[in-house]
Amino acid sequence: MIYLIVLLILLACVILAFFILIQNPKGGGLTGSFGAVSSQVMGVKQSTDVMEKGTWTMISVIGGLCIISVMFFQKPAGVDNGKQSQAKTAPAATKKGK
């Protein structure tokens, strides 16, 4: 299951990189490359809104998948919560004291 989540995170990262690279840092984005005529025909005027929404959506998806992925990680075999190690040393300490 963790491999599927990692694959989805990588896919979302590639899509996020696409959204970021296609935007113009000066705010023009796709609007400037298509010209004035196509903005009336194709509705490219709102391309910056779509790119911004896509960017925020991909950021949210990546963040959510990263948080969800923590639930599927397994502890290494030698790691415990410290309860067993305290339980093992406590009786030994009381036996030595008696």
Beta-carbon contacts of 55 under 8 Å, excluding residues fewer than 6 positions away, are: 16, 19, 20, 23
Query: Rounded CA gap, 6 and 10, in Å?
Result: 6
User: What's the confidence (pLDDT) of residue 72?
Assistant: 84
* 31, part of any domain: yes
Residue 33 within a domain? yes
Domain limits for position 28:
2-76
The total domain count for the chain is 1
The answer to whether residue 30 sits within a structural domain is: yes
Q: What's the pLDDT at 58?
A: 93
Residue 76 is predicted with a pLDDT of 78
The answer to whether position 91 is within a domain reads no
Give the pLDDT confidence score for residue 49 in this predicted structure.
81
Residue 96 domain flag: no
Cβ partners under 8 Å of residue 66, min gap 6: 9
Low-confidence ranges of the chain (pLDDT < 50): 37-41
Residue 90 lies inside a defined structural domain of this protein:
no
What integer pLDDT is reported at residue 82 of this predicted model?
Answer: 59
Q: What's the rounded Cα separation, in Å, for the pair 48 and 24?
A: 9
* Confidence (pLDDT) at 39: 46
Classify residue 21: in a domain, yes or no: yes
- pTM for this one? 0.56
Asked if residue 83 belongs to a domain, the reply is no
